[in-house]
Chain A
Amino acid sequence: MSSSELILSVENLTVGYNEELISKINLEINTGDVIAVVGPSGIGKTTLLRTIAGLVKPISGDIFCKAPKRGGIGYIPQKLGLVRHTSVYHNVDLGARSGSRFFSEPKTWFKRRSERVTTAVERMGLSDKMNEPVRRLSGGQQRRVATARTLAQRPKLILADEFLSELDEDNISIVLDAVKEYMAASESAMIIVEHNIQRATEISTRLLQIKNGELVEYNPSEMKFDLDGGLI
């Protein structure tokens, strides 16, 4: 594996809306990192991701992102953010559209996009649903569409908000395998919000817990659990 390079650096960041939710955030994220953010409901995990994605203004502090502005960040919102009335193809194509350059070779743009879409949809096992409106898919299938959209985008940084919840074991492994495969092939990083701490330690290389309005970093391999999956 090539040496890792810096993708995202966060300095003294404070996030929140009217009130501060998490403060004194300092982070450096390199290619190959899979960072899990854990913490109780309502603590500000989604807000942190939205701030990194550039959707919410930080209260203070700086975010430096090396990923390109267009297509560099792939965000899978907690509510998935799919266009419900259009087909699976159209939704996944949104990712492909942002991720594939138009100006480098305009003539092949549509072809390159449709190849990305087909590959990603196949990988998620949804080929037979290609032209189905998203609203007609099951909850788990919709999650896979959202993952396919990000895979087709091929971003440098994936921000995934609880994207494994509501999935059964089979689907979790389909989605996780595909994402890991992508991470291994491309030089990218990922931040996952995950409320299940045990799973978070299994899939991440670094673990961040939000405690008393600050981020605390753990090494997942050193974590121990009680029988209920809680942190000791």
Chain B
Amino acid sequence: MTASGTALSLSGLTKRFGGLVAVDDVTIDLESRKLNAIIGPNGAGKTTLFNLITGEIAADSGRVTFQGRDIVNRKPHEIVRSGISRTLQIKSVFGGLTVGDNVRAAVLAHERIMTPFRPVSSYRAVAARSNDLIEEVGLSDHRGALASSLSYGDVALLEMALALAAQPKLLLLDEPVCGMGPQETERTVAMITGISRHTDVILIEHDMEVVFDIADFIMVMAQGGILATGTAAEIASDAKVQEAYLGSPEDD
């Protein structure tokens, strides 16, 4: 594992929706080997920032540099293949497929296996890796269940397995514990810190307790821009941050 470098570097990244500047000239270097978190009130532009990084929304201007290359506005599947995986704020899996097929599809896509005539079941290595991933996220008991039959927390875990199947160098997590009960939250937080030991993680999270507990570095967004950056202690005592949060009472 390399010593610290840059996990991701954003420069002048901007996205407008009509008159609204959802992401406003964001420039930042996020360090590798740290658990980076992005917080900010609802509508601050956090999810849009992820959408720009993963190529799902075209940026109006700016650069996204990952591993020395500008990846801005490349296609989502190409960006995944370059090593950035993500989970979505609204958990997103293949509902009509079994847990096993969900993960196998992701492993096959990562291995770029698209053969037309050999059964999926005959790929031993794929099956083994899928099983490992399912075990890693703790869904072994649900391997044969349809993804649509899982509880919300289990869907989030499955989504995590899909993201990890691509063996990402950078993992973007959008509110991973949102909607989870205390036990699920604890398990998921432990998993995220575990992953962050070998993979760069950028975490959007609403739960301040979680963020202050696990994040090494926090970036606060408001109205599309960066309001503050620093460690948990620095952010907690930042007057601008407190103002931003008090100023948006609907934020939970």
A and B co-occur in one complex: no
Residues of B at under 8 Å CB distance from A? none
